[in-house]
Structure 1
Amino acid sequence: MTAESGILWYVIGPSGAGKDSLLAYARGRLPAESGVMFAHRYITRPADAGGENHVALSAEEFDARERRGCFALAWRRHGLAYGLGVETAMWLEQGLDVVVNGSRAMLPRAAEHFATLRPLWITASPEVLAARLAGRGRESAEAIARRLGESAGFAPPPGCVELVNDGRLEDAGERLLALLAKAD
């Protein structure tokens, strides 16, 4: 890694906090010459499943890419496989800042792998999380309750920047844009 390596903004938080919406908000407003890249995740979830803009892979495709070293980081959660492509490390080495939608459980491993990682904790109140999860229509009431219980057990790690997304998307989105702009 060079002295000019970019910052890896590792976005984490509970399901329903609005991570995907905030990332889409920022991505749509940052100029191409900003030096900020938004990495796609590779996920074994259909492309039309809703939520984040990701690269959909079958389980077999994911496993083959993982075996061949195509991921800088890979993990499994909630019955799906997730990966960050090796392009993430390449962009950082080129001095670009990179924003990724990470995993809370993978934060320690990601911090070991990416020296310039800055964790960004997106959160919302339990009531807002519950309403958003129910509104997605992707999970049963039991699965939502399980996710809410799990999220209550997580707290922002030390040194983590926290962004509360309880209100209007524009409010939290502008705070995210300000954070990314100050990274220079």
Structure 2
Amino acid sequence: MVVGPSGAGKDTLIYGYKERCANDENILFAQRLITRPEDAGSEPHKAIDHQEMSLLIDQQRVALSWPAHGLIYALPKCVDEHIAKGGIAVANGSRGALAQAVTKYQKLLVVHITAPIHILAKRLAERGRETVEDIEQRLQRADLSLPDLPHMVEIQNTAAPQIGIERLDQAIKAFMR
């Protein structure tokens, strides 16, 4: 599970790694379900309304779910199915969902993508989805710490994307050995 603050570059690294692994059927890249319109200037996701999301969660038809920033996020059930078959699932998760994920998955690698606050602020501004005030509030609220986890790697994503993608690749390969 890839986690980290908004603006850390999680999607950049995940999608770069996905291109690198395009022919590896053992790796599933989970597309999140989000209660946000698809055209909201964010990563590709399945847009879903709050009512449908609540129903899926109540019926346990999602792998994981969590609230964040006034939205509800979920990973599709195919994540569990792929893992049950011995596959690897790569997902953009949430630090807030870690306790749930650690309890659910016996073998879980957490990759914490992060960057200094000034870089996060710059990247968030470049996305253009929030006002300067919203960005400042988001960064003030951001808890950049993580609980002590058995399998966690931190990637400081401050260099070229290819370097971060390589670090993500190395972390996953080392974990799978």
Given the two structures, how large is their TM-score scaled by the length of structure 2? 0.91
Counterpart code for 1:112: T
Write the mapping of 1:35-184 to structure 2, written as runs, cut at 5 A: 35-151=26-142, 153-159=143-149, 160-182=152-174, 183-184=176-177
2:3 match = 12
- Number of equivalent positions: 174
Deviation at 1:34, TM superposition (A): 5.4
Deviation at 1:155, TM superposition (A): 1.5
SS of residue matched to 2:110 = strand
Mapped to 2, the partners of 1:138 and 1:33 lie a distance apart of 33
- In the alignment, structure 1 segments of 5+ residues that lack a partner are 1-9
Checking the alignment, whether the CA contact within 8 Å between 2:38 and 2:46 is kept in structure 1 is yes
Mapped to 1, the partners of 2:163 and 2:109 lie a distance apart of 21
Mapped to 2, the partners of 1:133 and 1:52 lie a distance apart of 13
Checking the alignment, whether the CA contact within 8 Å between 1:20 and 1:51 is kept in structure 2 is no
In structure 2, do the counterparts of structure 1 residues 156 and 64 end up closer, same or farther at CA, with 3 Å as the change threshold?
A: closer
RMSD (Å) for aligned C-alpha atoms: 1.5
Identity of aligned residues (%): 37
SS of residue matched to 1:48 = coil
Deviation beyond 4 Å, 4+ runs, structure 1: none
Counterpart code for 2:87: L
In structure 2, do the counterparts of structure 1 residues 71 and 34 end up closer, same or farther at CA, with 3 Å as the change threshold?
A: closer
- In the alignment, structure 2 segments of 5+ residues that lack a partner are none
SS of residue matched to 1:14 = coil
1:41-96 deviations in Å (ceiling 9; x for gaps):
11011112122221111112212222222112111111111111111111111110
SS of residue matched to 1:163 = strand
